[in-house]
Amino acid sequence: MSRFSNLGHRLYQGEVSFDFVGRRKLWYSISGVIVLVAAIGLAMGLHLGIEFKGGSVYTVQKSGLTVAQAQTAVNDVTHGTTALVQSTDNGKVRIQISSEIEQSPDSIRSGLAKELNVPVAEIDSQVIGPSWGEQISHKALLGLVIFMVLVTVYMAIAFEWRMAVAALVALIHDLLITIGVYALVGFEVTPGTVIGFLTILGYSLYDTVVVFDTVKENTKGLTKQSKLTYSEAANAGLNQTLVRSINTTVVALLPVAALLFIGGGLLGAGTLNDISLALFIGLAAGAYSSICVATPLLAQLKEEQPEMKALAKRVAQRRASEAKAAAEAAGDGTPEGEEFADEDLPAGMVGQRGQAAGRSRAKGRPTGKR
């Protein structure tokens, strides 16, 4: 059996532990760099679909027609205006043209029929006005804001406001990274993309809630002891759910990767790219943020509480006292295990008491001599 086969059990039992919370500065730095790159891509602008900015869509079905041939034809009709050409899963070619072009939809349709040598009736056209696209944009943004508000309220009620803040920061972190990657690769933002955004936010929240629930269980009555700080208890809870989070993410990424790389890449179904890229980037970012952003941030916020500061001080004092006692025992040559502290023994037991070697026997006690 591989030595990694029981890693999950060892993590849960505390036999193996990765210090995620203690290395939070490292994770914050990595997240900061990624978010900065994503912000640069976002500043370059998103490639919005016609559903958001208006335009026309033409669907052509012709045997042997390739995306490159359709792109050349539409460029000739629109005199070089950039158009988005994609192949669909049913063998058709989909051409999207922005509303910024001055030509009428009917003239474009006729021009495409001439260039592609197909009847005009076999080219399906759909025109979307800019006002309708603006309404879609507002509704998508409103849905996102409502989602964030509901998430914050739920987390504050189910857990506490510090957990709600940490979860909200992780969600914004995932959203910024996903949108930034979209801007960098130049993929078109469609309603399917918005669905992907909401899906990954829900997944990220689910993963964070699972970790927070374990952390909450591990930190019950934490101030009544002096062995662990809040950060250490939170890190233990994170390690207990680590393998579960990784397995869940990998299983979720496999079908999404098939959609993105095989369906959209190898098979050329470009209509799958908008939602599959959002899911792929968002799932990976969500798993990272729940482990390396949300929990370390929660621990940092909790450590600012007066009772947690007092707990950390007691833990430090106890460890210093134990280290001093161990050093003295090693220096005096005292056999290990001869002396015990009462607090380390089970309830009802008292530590061994030292007795004088020459203690006299009680008077009148039989000695056994005559």
Are the CB atoms for 69 and 60 separated by under 8 Å?
no
- The pair of structure tokens assigned to 233 is 């208890």
Q: Comparing 19-47+133-308 with 55-128, is the CATH topology the same? A: no
d(CA 166, CA 155): 10
CATH says 55-128 is which class?
A: alpha beta
Q: What number does CATH give the domain 19-47+133-308? A: 1.20.1640.10
Q: Which of 208, 168, 200 is nearest to 181 (CA)?
A: 200
What integer pLDDT is reported at residue 66 of this predicted model? 82
Q: In terms of C-beta distances under 8 Å and separation of at least 24 residues, what long-range contacts does 23-28 make, across chains too?
A: 23/296, 24/292, 24/296, 24/297, 24/299, 24/300, 27/292, 27/293, 27/296, 28/293, 28/296
Identify the residue whose tokens are 């607090």.
Answer: 343
| Cβ proximity of 264 and 276 under 8 Å | yes
Sorted by sequence, the CB contacts under 8 Å of residue 253 that are 6+ apart come out as 280, 283, 284
Instruction: Report domain extents, the chain.
Output: 19-47+133-308, 55-128
- Residue-level pLDDT, tens digit, the chain, 370 residues: 445 446 555 655 556 678 889 899 999 999 999 999 888 888 887 777 777 777 888 888 888 788 888 888 888 888 766 677 877 766 788 888 877 777 788 888 888 888 888 888 888 888 877 666 677 778 778 877 888 888 888 888 888 889 989 988 998 898 888 888 888 887 777 777 877 777 887 888 888 888 888 888 888 888 888 888 999 889 988 888 888 888 888 888 888 888 777 766 565 555 567 778 888 888 888 889 988 999 999 999 999 999 999 988 998 998 898 888 888 888 765 554 444 444 444 443 444 444 444 444 444 445 544 4
Alpha helices in the chain (DSSP H): 7-13, 24-43, 50-53, 67-78, 105-116, 130-158, 161-185, 191-218, 230-240, 242-257, 273-289, 295-302, 306-332
Angle, helices 242-257/273-289, rounded to nearest 10 degrees: 170
Q: What pLDDT score does 354 carry? A: 43
Do residues 86 and 93 touch, judged by C-beta distance below 8 A?
yes
